[in-house]
Structure 1
Amino acid sequence: MEVIRHEGPGRLGLVRIGERSFTTPALAGVDFTLSPFNSFFHPKEPGEYDFNLAPAIPLGFYTPDEVIEKALGRLWSVNYEGFNAFYLPALRRTSYLGEFFKIIERYNFDAVYLGNSKILVREYRYFVKIIRELRERFPNVMIIADLEPFFYPLAVYLGVDAFDTRSLKLYDFEGKGFTQYSPFLWKEGSNSMDFAEETVLLVRNTLREGKLRYLVENFFSTQYHAGILRIADLEHPDYLEKYTPIQRETVYFISDASIRRPEVRRWHSRVAERFVPPRNTELVLLFPCSAKKPYYFSRSHTLYRRAVKEALGSGIAKVHELILTSPFGVVPREWEWLAKYDIVVTGHWSEEEVKPAAELLAKTLEKYPKDVPIIAHLDEAYVEIAKLAGELSGREITFTRVENGTTGRESLKSLTETLKEFELEATKEDRTYRYFEGIRKVFDFYFGQGAGEAVLPDNGKVRGSKMLRIFAENQQTGTFKDGVISVTPYGMQRIYDALGAYWVKVDFELRGDVFAVGVDEADPAIRPDDIVGIVRDGKVIGVGKAVLSGDEMVRARKGVAVKVRKRA
């Protein structure tokens, strides 16, 4: 199986079987006939189905140790020649997974049928753990499960690729017709296959458009859905984040589960690890977010900007602004182009929103010199966040007087009067430095601290008006427009030399895209859709967009790892 696109561990894939090929997620044809004589599953002759399941022993989820060990002994004696799918019984005793994995690895199966799936969804931790271990160990193996259609979005999001539909006939026999609200609401008639086909097509389309997580949160049909997703978010956040593409489009936060999305975890991590305040900062301002994005173009932030300009004049080039928001917590002004999200704004924040935002703000404030004043122009829950951050960081925060909202006449007057107490003078060099910093910080977000200075050093140049071209040593390193960047091979070489980051190492002449089988090593920090440098013998020979995560590139043996855009 080749991965075409990721959203979390969920993947749009291409499966080739002989001369046939199809796209996943899909409904799979599996030959699965139970023999009454020896409890083995015996397929018919290989080749009659998409997937011919090798003889297997149907162990139950709660099977004891001695039975599992006996079954494993028998499984090693099976002749697997001609079969392309392996039956993996999901077991509570997960320590035995490794033994089953040895069989899968030795015989190079194309697919794994995950047994006991319907019991597994009721065991939240085991469901996530087993799928994760299977997916990470075998990135090119297709995972098949027997689940009802209302589980399809969540199962695909966590790593399942296809679904066996045989058991759905039971619902047809009982005259239960599926609806979006099943299993609580049914309709009369038999529609199991039609509903399964419609649902898997919907999942495939949302995956293609990058909205699978949104669909998952709209398919919370049972307590099992909520429990499984919560376990995945809270106990396996690294698994979800590793395969989640770098955010390019707007993310919609529609539920309490939304604030645990991988994009939020990644944002908090990058603010803490990759953001460094401009070195000429002499005053920090805290503002609330706005419904309109980027904030800069909103009415409220336009009014804030006028008030700051009136009070400080050219000294504004020595002010640094942080915007407080949920669930991203803190958005440095330079990163507002990157904070693409939409959320219901009611003025009410939950504890799950307030505490992480305050903790992130505290970490961010600690990055500034202790003698730099901090002024907060906030209201409602934003004040609570700032006060808690002040306590956590030990930094004193001065609050302006806010009446009838932060954009009220008296509130803006208070902001101006508070700022007039500070005498800040900025030079032309300060303004140029801040202009450069607005570009550099975006590169830092994507590649790490120092990437911005690598592509745009102090003696670098910026040319153009709308689409900015960036130069270092009279060679173009990249482009910048409204937070969207590109990098030339020369620019990527400078980033590689400075940071040793976002590289994919190969040992061949670059002619087209880089396939996973040709990847020797890759930076583990790489995520799908990242800009990466293709490196050979220490030299960047091309720049492209990652299809897979860094770890996945190394483990995978099929499909494109990097789509090459530019060659050196």
Structure 2
Amino acid sequence: MKYFFEVLSSRIGYSRLGRILFSIERKLFISTPNLIIPIKSALMRQLNFIQEFENHDIFKVSKEIFLKIGFIKEKFKNTGFIFMNNGTLRKFQDILLKNTITFSEDNIISIIPFNIPTTCITKEFAKNEIENYLLHVDQILKLYSNLHFGLSIKVFNYTELFNLYIPLIKQNKNIKILNIADLFDNLSNFRNILKIISEIKRILDNNLIIMASGRITPKIYPILVYLGIDLIDSSYLLYLSANNFYDTIEYLLPIYKMKYLPCSCVVCKGNLKNLIDNRFSPEKFDLLCLHNLITATNYMNKIKQYLTFEDYRGFVEKSSFDDTNVISALKLLDKDYFDQIRYDTPTTQKVKRVQCYGPISYYRPDFREFRERAVENFEPDPWTSLIILLPCSAKKPYSQSKSHQKFQTVLKKFPEFPTFQEFIITSPLGVIPRQLEDVYPVNSYDISVTGEWDNEEINITAGMLIKMLEKYDKNIPVICYLKEDYHEIVKIASAKLDQNIIMTNIHGKTTSDDSLRSLGKIIEEFKDFYSNKGHFEGGDYTSKSWNQKFIKILDYQFGPGSGRKIISNGVKLLRNRKQSQINLVDLKTKEKIGVFNSPTGQINLTITSLNKLIQSPSTFNKNSIVFNGDVINGSTLFRAGVLDYSNDLIPNNQVIIFNKSKNDIIGTGKLLVGRNFLKNTSTGRIAEIIEKKKKLKNQ
């Protein structure tokens, strides 16, 4: 059987969308992440089970007899099967020998079992068992080199023992699935979980399918998918059903306590309600199994919907509010593994509202990436004469809110307004230059506002404010137009800065007439205080404002100074409202500069513009890939076509594609994956091509 897995795109955290090819002849693709449904005799006797799951993508069989039943093959012919025998390794070898043709031709792949009867073992005993298992597995893999397998991985709570598996995985290319069999049984070991997941992502082929099995309940499916799990074995639900547990997703409840069934599946609408008090009913067990599997499948469908179209990180956070282990795992992942996970997490999401749920959201990777990149790449304008600190608003972008429109009315009364630099103070994103208000996640986030800031919010924002203001001449006045709840931030920053920070009198609301008059008076008093050395080019303010916005966005995307290299003659805007895009055209040359995408706040530059940015391609090493050729064909760049790449590649960013000699830009693309994927795999999709250099007639 031909078989492979490919990552289609990376999502936030380690999560990803992919597909498994189970049959080339029938073009049978199985999407991931996905849920593995067990096939058992008790389930197959239920007509409702067959009707509910006949179109499910992937099943697990554990008995040899199911490999031979023609009905199953015919009824589920458009699905994939995973064979997981619960017996010994020797028993598995016997089954493999007798069913070699089945495993080589049909839509099935086998997981090599690792079953030890005892659970209380020392580290030395565990090490010996793993080494013995790997010795036999290596023999199986070499004997059946034409077959593909899944490898069962157990560490018995000894994280360091995972390293024993790595050489075997790297040496045997017919290992296609890593079945992590005991890691998620106890989420209180979240530190060990993150260590192993991080190691898998760091050193192993990222096209390996990651599967989770063991004592797993649907409640933790969201965090498993966030950690990059592609397949989840739902077999544990059968054990829970046998022990009379009813799954509501939020809780596992004993069925005899249920008075109101909160589900409308075929089971709950049927006879289950009449069997609740019958403690030892075989029919009740069968029905509970079916209900729990239906509930788990529906939840996985919800996860896939959020992963594909919504803010998946927000979904994971919401699902974890009553699980301190998941909350701890998210926080630890955000802080301790950011330098790795940032290269797997897209910097943008399209048309998605991002909800912040408190401290659990403060360091989510896309927020932290924005803060660090904004501080690193924001460059002060040389003509800045005044800095104004403003509060945030519920409506995004800020300039569309009523409060900021009133602020702008006051500021624009002054001819010197173009020399004013506005910063919006907000949580948890910190300090936002006005020019970056359209950039994701600034244009998308929402957070509950009570007027009180916790210490973490204060420290994040104050630290960013210090870094931003340090970029400016200390003699430039800083006007603080903020209410008292912001003052602690300013107080911390001012203690470490030499700037003169002037507090404005706020009378009630910041939008009251008295407050706005106070703002105008302060500006009038200090607008000429600093004699700047820079020169603001004259002209229509509106066009200059758009110029500055796009210049700062390009700096944010490509590094300080990038915007001025590209937008040197001014820019003309051509709106395409149907596609939420603005085409940017050079005022002087009339050449297209690029396309501004409103939902993401990013600019896709043309090859012409990138040539302005990159004067010396051979020494340029940012956001770039070296292609193994001189002409790009097709609409997708694959890993086989990549000779080299820069170390800053992040999913969804625009990537510059050089020819193999690295002396010419031959295309641009939108990255589907990041640096980590490129480093650890030799196959798969890398980028969608946005523009490619046209072929010359003699090529």
Q: Name the TM tier (shorter chain).
A: over 0.9
SS of structure 2 residue aligned to 1:242: coil
Equivalent of 2:14 in 9, 13, 34: 9
Q: Residues of 1 paired with 2:345 and 2:329: CA distance?
A: 18
Give the conservation status (yes or no) of the 8 Å contact 1:35–1:41: no
1:516 to 632, 636, 639: 639
Residue 205 (structure 2) pairs with residue 138 (structure 1): yes
Matched-pair contact (CA < 8 Å) for 2:247–2:253: no
* Among candidates 471, 475, 492, match of residue 586 of structure 2: 471
Q: Whole-Å Cα distance in 1 between the matches of residues 197 and 690 of structure 2? A: 34
Distance in structure 1 (CA, Å) of the matches to 2:398 and 2:372: 22
- Counterpart of 2:224 in structure 1 is 155
Extract unaligned runs of 5+ from structure 2: 37-59, 61-81, 259-275, 277-286, 576-581, 694-699
Structure 2 counterpart of 1:535, from 629, 654, 658: 658
Kept after mapping to 1: 8 A contact 2:84/2:113: no
Measured at CA, do residues 417 and 89 of structure 1 come closer, stay the same or move farther in structure 2, by a change above 3 Å? same
2:627 and 2:119 mapped to 1: Cα distance? 45
Query: After superposition, where does 1:323-472 map in structure 2 within 5 Å?
Result: 323-338=424-439, 339-340=442-443, 341-424=445-528, 428-429=537-538, 435-457=546-568, 460-466=569-575, 467-471=582-586
Aligned to 1:488: 606
In the other structure, the counterpart of 1:502 is 623
Q: 2:344 aligns with which of 243, 246, 259?
A: 243
- The answer for the alignment partner of 2:267 in structure 1 is none
Measured at CA, do residues 43 and 419 of structure 1 come closer, stay the same or move farther in structure 2, by a change above 3 Å?
A: farther
The CA deviation string for residues 359-392 of structure 1, in whole angstroms up to 9 with x for no partner, is 0001100011111111100003212211211113
Aligned amino acid, residue 241 of structure 1: R
Q: Whose radius of gyration is greater, 1 or 2?
A: 2
Q: Does 1:25 align with 2:2?
A: no
Q: 2:181 aligns with which of 115, 120, 124?
A: 115
Shift of 1:500: 3.4
CA drift at 1:437: 2.0
TM-score by length of 1: 0.92
TM-score (norm 2): 0.76
Aligned equivalents of 2:362, 2:545: Cα separation in 1: 32
Distance 1:465 1:37, change over 3 A: closer
Please say if residues 638 and 686 of structure 2, whose CA atoms lie closer than 8 Å, have aligned partners that are also in contact.
yes
Change (3 A) 1:257 1:50: farther
Cα distance change, pair 61–183 in 1 and its aligned pair in 2 (3 A): farther
Higher mean C-alpha deviation, range 415-424 or range 125-134: 415-424
Task: Tell me by how many angstroms 1:515 deviates.
Answer: 0.6
Shift of 1:551: 3.1
Give, in whole Å, the separation in 1 of the partners of 2:15 and 2:120.
Answer: 24
Which amino acid is 1:155 matched to? L
Q: Within 2, Cα distance between the matches of 1:185 and 1:386?
A: 54
Matched residues in 1 for 2:613 and 2:680: separation? Answer: 25
**2:130 aligned partner, one-letter code:** A
Task: Specify every segment of 5 or more residues in structure 1 that has no aligned partner in the other structure, as ranges.
Answer: none
Distance 1:100 1:158, change over 3 A: same
Does the CA contact (< 8 Å) of 1:522 and 1:551 recur in 2?
Answer: no
8 Å contact from structure 1 (residues 285, 320) kept in 2? yes
Aligned residues: 564
Instruction: State the alpha-carbon separation in 2 of the partners of residues 345 and 448 from structure 1.
Output: 33
Pairwise CA distance, 1:506: 1.2
**Cα distance, 1:330 vs. partner?**
0.6
Summarize the Cα distance change of 1:64–1:476 in structure 2 as closer, same or farther, 3 Å threshold: same
2:158 paired residue among 81, 89, 93: 93
SS at structure 2 position matched to 1:542: strand
The answer (yes or no) to whether the contact 1:60–1:116 under 8 Å persists in 2 is no
Alignment deviations for residues 37-86 of structure 1 (CA, whole Å, 9 cap, x no partner): 87989865352773301254659696413541463155234321234111
In structure 1, how many angstroms separate the alpha carbons of the residues matched to 2:181 and 2:228? 15
Checking the alignment, whether the CA contact within 8 Å between 1:282 and 1:373 is kept in structure 2 is yes
Answer yes or no: is 1:556 the counterpart of 2:681. yes
CA distance in 1, matches of 2:608, 2:547: 19
- How far, CA to CA, are the matches of 1:269 and 1:41 in structure 2? 53
Query: Quick one: percent identity of the two aligned structures?
Result: 24
Deviations 1:503-530 (A, max 9, x none): 1111123101111222222222121111
Q: 1:61 to 1:560 in 2, by over 3 A?
A: farther
Q: How far apart in 2 are the matches of 1:376 and 1:178?
A: 53
The residue aligned with 2:263 is none
